[in-house]
Chains A and B, each alone.
Chain A
Amino acid sequence: MEKNKVISVECISKFYPTEVGLMRIFKKARLIRALKSVSFNVYEEEVFGILGPNGAGKTTLIKILATLVLADTGKTTMFGYDVKQNPYDIKNKIGIITGDERGFYWRLTGRENLMFFGTLSNLSKTELKKKIPYLLDFVKLTKSKDIMFKEYSSGMKTRLQLARALLTKPEMLLLDEPTKSLDIEGKEKFKQLLKEPILGKKPTVILATHSLEEAEAVCDRFMILKKGEKVIEGDIEDIRNFLKLSNHITISFSARNTDDLKLIIKDIKNIKSLTSIEEKIIKNTADLNIRYKENPVDFLTTLIAFCKNVEGCEVLSLNVNSKDLKEIMHLILDIKKV
């Protein structure tokens, strides 16, 4: 069944003035591009990653979706509401988490902070009394609920942000570098929390991050931004196909003589998914550098079978290299525009 489109972003651009404050009276501001003609859709219950290096425009995009920043051009609708015309309807449906450790009252406890922000989110006292203990337990802060926020560790602060974002049982979570101040253990715990159903529901998640491992672990689809422009959008396989990326194997094997080696190489060259092969034969040893477009396990099985068919053939070394998201992103960001 096709899922509902919950975000539709059409050709939005955003420029920031370089001069803010009083200087703008005296000096004409130069404009810096944060986003240029970015379009994408997000579907219900999807975990959508916005990836890119620092300055790519990830935070600006999240803030436009959170109705905190207005785009200069283009149209953004969320749940059918226009972000400029109906910000309060959208705010009722979203929860936001930033990697910023501020955003809470440092001299209130974690529970008191949730009471405060829950009230601003139109939750009744009864609802808050029910939800706050549940969410504090969910983010594992029950024991620290009556400690002032200023005493919390970075991990606890981020987890309290998650609890706050979930108070309204949001249909969408906007996460902007949520784990940037967490240690490895904290990051793992946070990723696990995101995978769990929350209040019996799976929200749509928009995750802006420069951590590719994090994105690969939790995202269904990705969009890569570079200097405010969308470079590519899709899941890993889409991106791989779009870039016509092939997998890569280097193999070194020996045989009783050069004729046997050539026989094996001839068989390999007949494999359909092969895209290129470089060979180097020295005496009775061959080094092959092979590129192919197929599942690495299937390709390897065929390759080994060819070697086994020839008596005396021995595989000396094998190196399988399938491109992961990190390599793909580096490759993409090296290209000006795909």
Chain B
Amino acid sequence: MIKIIRKVFIFFWKDLKNLFSYKLGSVLYAFSIFIPLIIFYFLSQLVGDEALPYISKYSLEYFPFVLVGLAFSNYFIFGINSLSASIRNEQMMGTLEAMLSTPTSIPTIIFSSVIFDFVLTSLQIFLYILFGKYIFNADIHFHKIIPMMLMLFFTITSFGTFGIISASFIIVFKRGNPLALLITQSSILFGGVYFPFEMLPGWVQLFSKCLPMTYSLRGMRLLLLQNAPFSEILPDLLFLVIFTMIFLPISIYIFKFSVNKAKKDGTLIQY
């Protein structure tokens, strides 16, 4: 276990050093975090009370509503893109072969290679919420820590299943990842990031109800904006738990299958 922790830490240290070696890039990245916040703050001023009939279930203002959507959709983007991007990057740098030549297991390599992105995304989300609350005066509650943590954990695991499948796609097919593109776009469009999915036509809502993003955002909004009791978010949490229980083993099986396929085809390290 200690060995695994050391490995996770060394990946984190390597990625941190890499980020700080691009000094200008790091500064620009830090600034870029706040740009969407500012845009949506002014957009919500423009929208005013017009949005209230649609979002009143969650919030009395559009800005807190979109802030939570924006923040947690970042986890989705992280979940689906980070692993495949990391694998592709390591393939191109030739470091994947070097890592696979060590006695470190593939799951440890996979998990460790996204840990930095995870921390960075979490930091970004934390800053979104913090700045939203204290600078832009969004009405956000931090009272339900344990339900929030549970919601967050199963949000990440359910989003992560898409990421693992997407990475499998990259391992076998190398270029392009239409799966990630399709799921990301449809989740952002139908999952309620910028507007509640209840606004969509009835038949489209059926599709929204299949997406983990819908349940994750609804649960998070109820907790952060309405300070809702645990019982109210339980159905959303249960959906995410069941989704994870079904799709996580499937995605891991697909991933193992694709690694073996690539090993047989001799294309594991090709890009």
Contact = CB atoms under 8 A, between A and B. Distances in A.
Interface of A: 14, 16-17, 20-22, 34, 60, 63, 66, 68-70, 72, 88, 91-92, 94, 96, 98, 100, 102-108, 112, 115-117, 119-122, 125, 148, 164
Interface in B144-169: none
B202 to A, nearest CB: 35
A117 B13 CA distance: 13
A122 B174 contact: no
Given A22-B173, A108-B17, A120 B104 contact: yes
Contact of B102 (A60, A72, A102, A117): A117
B93 A119 contact: no
A108 B14 contact: yes
27 contacts: A20-B265, A20-B267, A21-B172, A21-B174, A21-B175, A22-B175, A68-B97, A69-B268, A70-B263, A88-B105, A91-B101, A100-B94, A103-B93, A104-B95, A105-B14, A105-B93, A106-B93, A107-B18, A107-B21, A108-B14, A117-B98, A117-B99, A119-B6, A119-B7, A120-B109, A122-B104, A164-B98
Interface of B: 3, 6-7, 10, 14, 17-18, 21-22, 93-95, 97-105, 109, 172-176, 260, 263-270
Contacts of A20: 174, 265, 267, 270
Given A60-B266, A70-B260, A96-B101, A116 B10 contact: yes
Nearest to A164: B98
B102 A121 contact: yes
Given A22-B176, A107-B18, A119-B7, A63 B266 contact: yes
A329 to B, nearest CB: 26
B268 A104 contact: no
Nearest to A91: B103
Contacts of A164: 98
A21 B266 CA distance: 12
Contacts of B18: 105, 107-108
B269 A107 contact: no
A14 B264 CA distance: 9
Given A68-B101, A102-B93, 17 more contacts: A17-B265, A20-B174, A20-B265, A22-B175, A34-B266, A68-B100, A72-B264, A92-B103, A103-B95, A104-B94, A105-B14, A107-B17, A115-B10, A120-B99, A120-B102, A122-B103, A148-B21
B264 A102 contact: no
A97 to B, nearest CB: 10
Contacts of B100: 68
Contacts of B105: 88
Contacts of B98: 103-104, 117, 164
A20 B175 CA distance: 10
Contacts of A121: 102-104
A102 B268 CA distance: 15
Nearest to A167: B102
Contacts of A70: 260, 263-264
Nearest to B264: A70
B10 A16 contact: no
A247 B95 CA distance: 48
Contacts of B102: 91, 117, 120-121
Nearest to B94: A102
A21 B265 contact: no
Contact of B173 (A21, A68, A119, A122): A21
Contacts of B94: 100, 102-104
B18, B176, B264: most-surrounded residue (chain A CB, <10 A): B264
Contacts of A112: 14, 17
A148 B20 CA distance: 13
A334 B243 CA distance: 62
Nearest to A88: B103
User: Residue among A68, A94, A115, A121 with the most chain B CB within 10 A?
Assistant: A68
A98 B96 CA distance: 13
Contacts of A60: 266
A91 B108 CA distance: 15
Contacts of B176: 22
